[in-house]
Amino acid sequence: MELGLVGLGKMGGNMRERIRRAGHTVIGYDRNPDLADVHSLGELVDRLKAPRVVWVMVPAGAATQSTVDELGELLEPGDVVV
């Protein structure tokens, strides 16, 4: 399985490592470049094979809404946001 993960803080960062240890490919994006595998949501989407799955692990509210809105502009029909 291949997964994009947005938000690599305490929960998201640990989730990325556990999923990788289970043998899956995880490409992570975070506003903090020291944590990220890619430097933008656009690069994250470009690195994933279609149909894409992107898991959003950012704080509830405006941060989540703006992330989902931006992903909505980048993703295609058939892609999934969790």
For residue 21, the model assigns a pLDDT of 98
Give the whole-angstrom CA distance, residue 24 versus residue 77: 23
For residue 50, the model assigns a pLDDT of 96
Domain coordinates in residue numbering, the chain: 2-60
Largest Cα separation within the chain, whole Å, is 33
**Section 52-80 average pLDDT:** 96
Give the whole-angstrom CA distance, residue 41 versus residue 27: 11
Give the whole-angstrom CA distance, residue 29 versus residue 52: 15
The number of CA neighbours under 13 Å toward the Cβ of 13 is 10
For residue 69, the model assigns a pLDDT of 97
For residue 44, the model assigns a pLDDT of 98
Q: Tens of pLDDT along 2-60?
A: 999 999 999 999 999 999 999 999 999 999 999 999 999 999 999 999 999 999 999 99
φ/ψ region of 7 (left if φ > 0, alpha if ψ in -120 to 50, else beta) reads left
